[in-house]
Amino acid sequence: MEQDIKKQIVGILEKDCRLSAEEIAVMLGKETKEVELAIKELEKEGILCGYHALVNWDKVDDDTVTALIELKVTPQGGDGFNKIAEQIYQYPQVETLYLMSGAYDFLVMVRGKSIKDISLFVSENLASIEEVQSTATYFTLTKYKEQGVNLTRKKQDGRMVITL
């Protein structure tokens, strides 16, 4: 399968994963079967890892809290960071986990029922990992933009603005 077609398909699906193989084929001027095969290959290769809806939870009657947690760790052995990461990403509260360069080693994004819920998760689970030196937790107050999408779109009331 041509790499350029795969790259184009990935770009299209990243923007709108609801598009069908038939719609993508029309966009690329390809046959539907070719696009279906490419998508199956991309999934098998682990390039397409899932299909998700981006939800603005602030507009849903949902009182969950999100937080970003910085972790400084002391890895043991050659595969130390990976072993620590495997331990951390097993928790259901962990939505995102990145190994970082800079002042800290891991960035963990978690979701919980309350600030207390997240605080307990950090103190009882993350901080208790032997290799963790320190944690810093930042609670999300307002999300303005996520994954390239502006979450603050304001409804226009249709009235003309008049100034004097």
* Domains detected in the chain: 3-44 (1.10.10), 57-142 (3.30.70.920)
Is the model's pLDDT at 155 over the cut of 60?
A: no
pLDDT given at position 76: 83
Residues 30, 20: Cα–Cα separation, whole Å: 13
Q: How confident is the model at residue 159 (pLDDT cuts 50, 70, 90)?
A: low
Residues 68, 78: Cα–Cα separation, whole Å: 27
pLDDT given at position 86: 95
pLDDT given at position 58: 72
SS3 9: helix
- The pLDDT tens digits for 45-89 are 999 998 888 777 777 767 889 999 999 999 887 788 999 999 999
CA angle (42 as vertex; 40, 43 as ends), nearest 5: 65
Is the model's pLDDT at 92 over the cut of 80?
A: yes
